[in-house]
Amino acid sequence: MTVIKLDGVEFYYDAYKALDGITFSAEGGDFIGIIGPNGSGKTTILRNISRVLRPCRGTVLLEEKELNEFSIKELARKMAAVPQSTEVNFDFTCMDVVMMGRNPHLGRMQAESEKDIEAVMEAMRQTNTLEFAERPITRISGGERQRVIIARALAQQPGVLLMDEPTANLDINHQIELLSLIRRLADGGVLVIAALHNLNMAAQYCSKLILIHEGGVLAMGTPEDVITPQNLKLSFKVDAQVMVHPLTNAVYITPIAPPNARRQLPGESANIHIICGAGTGARLMHTLVELGYTVTVGVVNVLDTDHETAEHLGITAVSEAPMSPITDEAHERNMELIMKSDLVVVTDVPFGPGNIRNLEAARSAQEMGGKLIMVNSTPFEERDFTPDKRATALMGELQGGRMISVNSAQDVLQSIKSIFGE
């Protein structure tokens, strides 16, 4: 099995220390994503692994041998690299360029065999580049050229594939196709090490991540271990919410605008209380906080997406134990926040015996003369899971009072602006 080891690698550009003691190992079957802000050292790591650069200190081992022990051709049979940008100034056809990936496998003056042609055709099929195989590479788009260069690397049939921003210039469909292909190659035993810019893509497709910060390794491990709000704050200087996507089961990131980027409303900020749950209030919370409103939330269960969002945004929220019904104490605290608010928004959350008291709290707010917005993007009957349809009855009472019914979060914002005269 192909194994690469970096041990204490340091590299300087003149007096500037670009890499500071990089140490890690990887083996066939790994899809390693190297992430980090621009200038952190991602490309320099790849260049040290590919022998384009040589460490000033430390070692890079391939199969327990230092890289300088391999001939150029021998190393090219084991390792292929896709640089961040490649200029091809001659009118080679795209197939000719991909065929160049077979050079390490050919002797001097040796013609390509049927095996070489099959390898080239397969690489072009995998990258969806066969359609312009006979076109000059100088006459295709930047994204198409990137795919041809990747095909050339695949045609080498390497045990190690190094890629520097491989999805740059690619449309989203080709990004997904390429990363899916890379993951399949890794699952088949190829060691892939790629510098990636898109953190959500890296989290979804990579088996391991290495977060580089100021030339050193800040964190290394699974995407869940590496992509945390704390690490993102330290390395990228950004506040972000990190959650697990319900479909892919991969972590994903939602950046949060810093306070100095949020629009401040004229006069005193309005206080808006959100009754939500099951993730139905997360987006609205983000938007209202960024617009400068004071937001409170209740009652939400611990571990619920809305609870995690409120906690990350620093929003005052009334919480209840996971999977537990709302207690008297939580209901009373929820009512205290409601009475301090200028407006209550009820999202299109499903209601059952556990959270029916949230709807009762909304009715109490209305009875006290409070302003109420109800989101009904999903028909209420489909969200009523109370045994006696108590929620539907309460909704009927709310509709008989002063309630604004809207169909989306965007409609909520429009109604808020209308209410507060913006």
pLDDT in tens, the chain (422 residues): 678 999 999 999 988 999 999 999 999 999 999 999 988 999 999 999 999 999 999 999 999 999 989 999 899 989 999 887 666 667 889 999 999 888 888 877 777 788 889 989 999 998 889 999 899 988 888 778 888 988 999 999 899 999 999 887 788 888 888 899 899 889 989 999 999 999 999 999 999 999 999 999 999 999 999 999 999 999 998 888 788 877 788 888 877 655 544 444 443 468 999 999 888 888 888 888 878 888 999 899 888 888 888 887 888 999 888 888 999 999 999 999 999 998 999 998 888 888 999 999 998 888 888 888 988 888 888 888 888 888 888 888 887 667 888 888 778 888 888 887 65
* Amino acid making up residue 368: M
CATH for 3-249 is 3.40.50.300
Q: Which ranges in the chain are annotated with CATH 3.40.50.720? A: 259-419
Contacts of 326 (CB under 8 A, 6+ apart): 299, 320, 334, 354, 355, 357, 358
C-alpha dihedral sign at 104, 107, 110, 114:
negative
pTM: 0.65
Measured CA to CA, the distance from residue 178 to residue 165 in angstroms comes to 12
Phi-psi region of 306 (alpha: psi -120 to 50; beta: other; left: phi over 0): alpha
Name the fold adopted by 259-419. Answer: Rossmann fold (3.40.50)
The residues with which 66 forms a beta bridge, in sequence order, are 61
Measured CA to CA, the distance from residue 78 to residue 53 in angstroms comes to 18
State how far the alpha carbon of 22 is from the alpha carbons of 10, 44, 58, 63, in Å: 7, 11, 8, 18
Measured CA to CA, the distance from residue 12 to residue 16 in angstroms comes to 5
Is the Cβ–Cβ distance between 75 and 63 less than 8 Å? Answer: no
Is the Cβ–Cβ distance between 225 and 213 less than 8 Å? Answer: no
Q: Which ranges in the chain are annotated with CATH 3.40.50.300? A: 3-249
Encoded tokens for 162:
């190094």
